[in-house]
Amino acid sequence: MAKILVTGGCGYIGSHTIVDLIAHGYEVICADNLSYGSTQRLDGIEAITGKKVKNYPINLADKRATEVIFNEHPDLAGIIHFAAFMSVPESVEQPLRYFENNLNSLINVLHFAQVHGIHNFVFSSSCSVYGQPDVLPVTEVTPRKEAESPYARTKQIGEDIIQDFAKAYPQHRAALLRYFNPIGAHPSGQLGEYATFKPNNLAPLITDTALGKRNSLKVFGNQYPTRDGTCVRDYIHVCDIAHAHTLALKHLLEAKNSPAVEVFNLGSGTGATVLEVLTAFETATGVKLNWEYAPPRPGDVVAVYADRTKATQQLGWEPKYSLSEMMNTAWQWALHLNNNLGGR
């Protein structure tokens, strides 16, 4: 049983990935300082898998603290690196905080991967590295444009750091997973997205509004050159995203990657407008939403969605969940939180 370090494993995507890794026979340890994650997700992982996952609540931007994990686990076979701050609006307001955290944590983890001979590295990247593409859908060879936010720039720089790292240390292999807009929750109802820390993602904003915790949902911008004037994004169920990480890790462990660092888009392959997502929620749940238009947000691109052909052909990855199922699982999770965990 290969042992894997998942950084940011108490976060939304990280926790679902841990569940998927355990389901496919891996042993997992976690590193998450809980600045955005929650220990309740560790409880959810245990409820689903029957496995208790050890978490190191450290700041990976702290080199000495990071070293402890690697010294205690010399048998690590791979690393999946999620740990990062991830709010676009917050990154616009606090760019230095984002650069310091996101880049230093990545550098420290790569340093100890090299020192301890851990050759397989999966990086949580983002479609934000593409900026506003000239042509849609985007493929892995679509040129990266100027970043629209400091958050997106940290992902671009992170990818470049990994490319340079692999050139300097040829025994290392990496997969850069550029995923689009994760949404939904584990169908067990035990894991999902918490609407804590002033939520910016669409699903918790929708469900908070549906539960009456918000008077209305703000739709940022209605004058974009799209079919209904709202932004277009490629929404993908979080469990589909999680499974792609397991497949990418297996791809590296079996040394099937060529070149040493490979890029994969993770998206459904189609785009949905914000208004289409709201309609999908109302149709799936029977709950009407109160929403209103608001000015566009700084850092938001107009439209972006993926060509996922490469991930399907090389990793064998096929998304399973429809937009309606994404919204229904998000709603069931929100009801679970509201009824059992005080809403958070």
User: Which positions are annotated as active-site residues?
Assistant: 151
d(C-alpha 59, C-alpha 116), whole Å: 19
List residues bridging with 56 in a β-sheet.
Answer: 31
Task: Phi first, then psi: give them for residue 343, nearest 5 degrees.
Answer: 90, -5
Judge whether 179 and 127 are in contact, CB under 8 Å: yes
Structure tokens of 207? 């469900």
Q: Where are the alpha helices (DSSP H) in the chain?
A: 12-23, 40-49, 63-72, 88-93, 95-115, 150-168, 202-210, 238-253, 274-285, 309-310, 323-340
Pairing of strands 76-81, 120-126: parallel
**Cis amide prior to 259 (ω within 30 degrees):** yes
Which tokens go with 47? Answer: 């409820």
- CA atoms of 332 and 122, how far apart (whole Å): 30
**Phi, psi at 267, each rounded to 5°:** -155, 175
Contacts of 53 (CB under 8 A, 6+ apart): 9, 18, 22, 28, 29, 30, 42, 45, 46
Q: Give the Cα separation of 132 and 260 in Å (integer).
A: 27
Least Cα distance to 180 among 221, 142, 223, 218 occurs for 142
Residue 59: name the closest of 7, 120, 14 by CA: 7
Token pair belonging to 165: 């790292």
